[in-house]
Each structure stands twice: as structure tokens, then as C-alpha cells.
A and B are shown apart, each in its own frame.
Chain A
């Protein structure tokens, strides 16, 4: 429903307006009727309106004299009343106008309508992000770096104000409203063609759930990614057709068990979901042995379960005696104390995970641990964004940060939707296969995080490739040739090919392409640009496949056909 600001303003100002009209009418008619000095009667309507207008607005030009004579006593008496009455009515009217304009509810409506107008004016792909906490902020930042517009909704007005003062490359639109109400999502442009996806990151889980329902019913084509803190909620949201549901604790635990189980796969995942341009992190080397885990909350439980599953021995330190379901081998006490750590076997342990929800505790635990056992592998959980600098200075082996981890994952999924499928399959790779993949990526990426991109073979986005594929066979190796010199290969690696329901991991060079294939590539920034050229330009593609430069104009084509192949 369109909310007209003018309508609301007029309705609120109804009584001051009526008061003004009435007061003016009374005094005009009075001046017309009261006789003036001298021969003439009262004023004309024209003069009376003129006089009341400048008296009421306190301009006060003085008496309106007719032929040099001033007001009659009757007119003066009426003017006395008129001055007070009209000025007071004006004050009342202007006061009411200011009250309406200052009214928080009215301001909210103003902001809301400005927001929905701006969303309507958007002519570029955008993502709706519900919830602007740690995760939301990092995601919006990363998206704006990639030149993707985001539309942010958060219940908390302070957070939206924070967003407005944030110095983003691409300013995003923000609205303080409840995302679980469908009309708010409609105003945020959920039904617009440009809306590429919705990301639900609200702290309130039921909000995320109702966003899921709204997206599924109003725009099933949009990508939907949500965060859920429990497995039940995760399944619930997935049942509404979400593309991805991310559970931060499970995400941590997953990557931790991957790190311990297969460090090279872990490194691969980090690279693939990293932000382009970052330097590549060195692959970790982790010894086999037993681990210590402090804190047995939601995070600790997820980590414990995942690590036990892959057969890693974990000793839990938990100060709370009342806590139930704590593993039997656990040590009771504070992990910040050296005695407790020693009791848990810190001297023999290969690594320690500080996983309480208290940042100073985690840091102090790890510092005590390194004092006793300098070779221990230290992993910290960081809960507060503002502690980032201290954690960086503490020189730990690994810091897990909730907002960052979720934001990274979502960002990677937005940029390259195929990555999710790829990672799900890659996680089952054997260690040596993962090593081969890692070394191939190192080969193409030199020192920087490789860029990931994907394309689909269709008429709109890759016209040249689409045409060629429909008439003759094109293999992956053709795409990997450099348009500058076909004997050289591009710095790119095809990671994944999706054809209908079938998936191919690391498609080999001689694999034939078909219309509708979706391909996930990884390589340098430069290779991405060159490959776009190949897929869009017919002549470049022909050159890559045959080695000949094809003429593009009709005359030249006819000339070549008639007079031999001299080109």
C-alpha cells in the first residue's frame, strides 16, 4: 500500500487549517461591515483580505487609509481583536506543523517511503540482507568491494544509523524495520527482477524462518541463504527451499575437524572462500596426538562431536560442575589456571582449542598453555569483533571468528553458487588427492588468493560459446587457450562442471561442452577477463579453436568464399 506523506500531513493539520480559515473569514467579514471614517462605508473584500493577511502574519504595514484618513474607532477596536486572534492562530498552525515534522513516527514513515522509492529506482542486481550484526557488516563490506549493491533491513535503528555512516565503496540502502513482516520485504524489493537473493542473518531465529517463508512464496527464484544456530532450525529453514543454511557452530567445528584431519583440504577451503587479493596462507602442518578443548557450550559440543567422529582424542576442560552431558574424561576447573591445564595433559597435547564465549579467558588460557608447552598448536575462538587487534597481537596459530567465518562463506556462495556443491564433494577427497589439487592451485595462483568465477553456456551471457557449442564440439582445452596467443594456456583451472543433475569434479581438458553447462573456474584476475572475451566474442573463439582469424563482415566473408582462402 503506497503511503502518501502529503495525505498524513494534511490529516494531522486539519484542525489548524480549519481554525485559520474560520478566523480569517470572521475578521474579513468584520472589516467589510464596520464603517470607516469619512463618507465611505467599510472596506471592500479585497482590502479586508489584504489587511488581515499582513496583520495576521505580523508584517504590519499600518492602517489602510482611504483618501488620507485613518481608521475609525470601530475599525481600530476590531483590529485589536484581529491582531491577537490571527497571530495566535498562526502560531498554533506553525506549531502543529513543526510537531508533525518532528514526530518520530512521521520521520520513520518519511524514511521508509524514501527507502522504498530508492529501492524502486535501483537498476542493478542487489541482495537483501536481513540483520546487520557482525556478520551482516562484514558481508555488506565484502559485497560493496565487489560492486554488488545490498539492501539492509534491521529492527534496531542504531544499527541502520551505523550503516549510514559506514564508508562503503558502494553505498547500501538501509531500513529500520522488522524483516519478518512481508510488506517490509516487499518494500525492500523482494519481487523485483533485480533482486538476486535474500540473506537472513537476524539474531532472532523465528525472523529468519518467516523470511524463508516469504521468499519461498513471493520470489522462489531468488537465492536464499540463512543462518541458523541449531540443527532443528537448520532443517526447518531448509524445508522452505533455502539454497544454503549456515550454522556458525557447525561451520567452525567442520573446518576444525577438517584442519586436524586433512590440513591441505582445510587450506584449499580457506583459499576458495577467501577474498581475492589476500596473500595465500601457508598450509598448516599438524602432528597426530591428543587435543585439549576448554569450554563445553554450544561451540565446544559441536567441536567435540566432530573431532570424536574422526577419531581424534579430545580432553574437555569445563568449570561448570552442573553442566550435563560432559564427556567422562573431562577435567573440572578453570582452563586459565596452569594446574588445570597440566591435569588435562598439556605437556603431551598437540593442540589446544580455547572455545569459551569469553574472549579474555580464551586468550589467557592460550598464553598459559604456550608457556607450559611452547610447541602446542593454539586455536582461539573470538566472539567480539572489537577484540580483533588483541587476537592478532597474541600471535596464535588460528583464530576462529563467528561473524567472519559466516560472512566469508556467504560471500563465496553469492559470488559463485557452484562453490557450495564443489566444496560438499571436495570434503570427501582423500588426503593425497587434496594435495594434488592444492599444488595445482598453487601453480596457477602464485602468491595471491585465486579468483573464482563461473559461467553458464547460454544465449545471453556467453553468446559466442553458445553458438559454437550448438554446431560443433568444443572441449575445455579450447577455453583455456589464451586469446592473445593460442599456443599459450591461461592461468586458470576448471574446478567443477554442472550439467543438469550430473556433476564433474575437475573436468579434464578433452571434456566436451554442452549447452546449459555451468562451469566453475579458478585462476588469476587476468585469466577471468580473457576468458570472458573468449565466451562472448565469436571471432576470438574461432581463432582459439582453429588458429585462423575469421573475417567478421559479410563482404569479407563473401570475398573469402568466392576467391579462395587467402585470408
Chain B
């Protein structure tokens, strides 16, 4: 068992599950979307991205790319949330659909990462 692989797989899968937890629920009710969950998803995604820095294999490059996509989408979602609530002080929750759909996009990127991870694991056969 390779501890480095464990850590990496852990973060990739955790990034996806956290993101999924945030994403599920209707577009109109903020109660279904916990801000703590979004925060956790961002942190875990950041760590997963940094873990992939410097991997020069082709698969490593694709991992880095999908992680970057996810993290950028999540960061944009968080910025929109923060700005709307604290800077523009928007009344009501019109911004919620944008945040949720952005995290949905990030979720797709996370799924790609996990699929790649599974494919890599299966091809090793050890």
C-alpha cells in the first residue's frame, strides 16, 4: 500500500463528495446549501490541486487540469456568494442559482477526476 496514493485518492474523492453534498437540493432554498460545506469543498479541492503540482506524466497533467477547473468554478461561486451578501447586500437569494450551478459544474470536473483515478487504479492490476 502506497501512503501517497491513499492521501491523493482520499482528497480527490472527498472533494467530490463534499461538492455533491453542497450541490444537492433545490435552487431556491438556501437552507439546502450549507456554506460550511462549500468552504470545506474549496479547501479540499485546493489541497487536491496542490498535490498534483509537478506530476509530469500525461495522466498527472489531466488530473491537474480537472482539479483546476473545479477549484476555479468553486472559487467563483464563493466570491459571488460573499460579494452579493456582504458587499452589494442583495435582498432575497437571487444569486443562489448561480452559485449552485457553478458548483454543479465543479462537481462534473470532480467526477472526471474520480473516473480517471479509478481508471488508473484498474490499469495497475497490483
Identify the A interface with B (CB < 8 A).
Answer: 7-8, 10-14, 17-18, 21-22, 25, 28-29, 32, 44-47
Chain B, interface SS category: helix
B56 within 8 A of A: yes
- Which of B36, B39, B53, B78 gathers the greatest number of chain A CB atoms within 10 Å? B53
Cβ of B14 to closest chain A Cβ, rounded Å = 13
A116 CA / B36 CA spacing, docked (Å): 49
Cβ of A33 to closest chain B Cβ, rounded Å = 9
Cβ of B111 to closest chain A Cβ, rounded Å = 23
- Which of B35, B47, B54, B78 gathers the greatest number of chain A CB atoms within 10 Å? B54
Chain A, interface SS category: helix
A46 CA / B53 CA spacing, docked (Å): 28
A17 CA / B47 CA spacing, docked (Å): 8
A25 CA / B39 CA spacing, docked (Å): 8
B-chain residues with CB within 8 Å of residue A47 when the two chains form the complex? 86
Q: Is the CB of A11 within 8 A of B54?
A: yes
Given A25-B43, A45-B39, are A10 and B54 neighbors across the interface (CB < 8 Å)? yes
B-chain residues with CB within 8 Å of residue A12 when the two chains form the complex? 54
A187 CA / B121 CA spacing, docked (Å): 37
A-chain residues with CB within 8 Å of residue B36 when the two chains form the complex? 29, 32
A22 CA / B36 CA spacing, docked (Å): 15
A-chain residues with CB within 8 Å of residue B120 when the two chains form the complex? none
- Name the contact of B50 in the complex, choosing from A18, A32, A46 (C-beta under 8 A): A18
Of chain A, the residue at the smallest CB distance from B42 is A25
Q: Is the CB of B82 within 8 A of A14?
A: no
A-chain residues with CB within 8 Å of residue B51 when the two chains form the complex? 14, 18
A-chain residues with CB within 8 Å of residue B78 when the two chains form the complex? 45
Q: Is the CB of A7 within 8 A of B43?
A: no
Q: Is the CB of B47 within 8 A of A8?
A: no
A to B contact number (C-beta, < 8 Å): 42
Q: Is the CB of A45 within 8 A of B35?
A: yes
Q: Is the CB of B53 within 8 A of A11?
A: yes
Q: Is the CB of B82 within 8 A of A21?
A: no
- Name the contact of B82 in the complex, choosing from A18, A28, A45 (C-beta under 8 A): A45
Cβ of A321 to closest chain B Cβ, rounded Å = 63
B28 within 8 A of A: no
Q: Is the CB of B56 within 8 A of A29?
A: no
Given A44-B86, A46-B85, are A21 and B54 neighbors across the interface (CB < 8 Å)? no
B12 within 8 A of A: no
B-chain residues with CB within 8 Å of residue A22 when the two chains form the complex? 43, 47
Of chain A, the residue at the smallest CB distance from B35 is A45
B-chain residues with CB within 8 Å of residue A45 when the two chains form the complex? 35, 39, 78, 82
B46 within 8 A of A: yes
Q: Is the CB of A7 within 8 A of B85?
A: no
A21 CA / B78 CA spacing, docked (Å): 16
Given A21-B47, A25-B43, A44-B86, are A8 and B54 neighbors across the interface (CB < 8 Å)? yes
A-chain residues with CB within 8 Å of residue B50 when the two chains form the complex? 14, 17-18, 21
Chain B 71-88 near chain A by CB (<8 Å), digits 1 or 0: 000000010001001100
- Name the contact of A14 in the complex, choosing from B35, B39, B54, B85 (C-beta under 8 A): B54
A45 CA / B86 CA spacing, docked (Å): 10
Chain B 11-31 near chain A by CB (<8 Å), digits 1 or 0: 000000000000000000000
Nearest 7 Cβ contacts at the A-B interface? A11-B54, A10-B53, A25-B43, A46-B82, A17-B50, A46-B86, A21-B46
A-chain residues with CB within 8 Å of residue B39 when the two chains form the complex? 25, 28-29, 32, 45
Cβ of A369 to closest chain B Cβ, rounded Å = 67
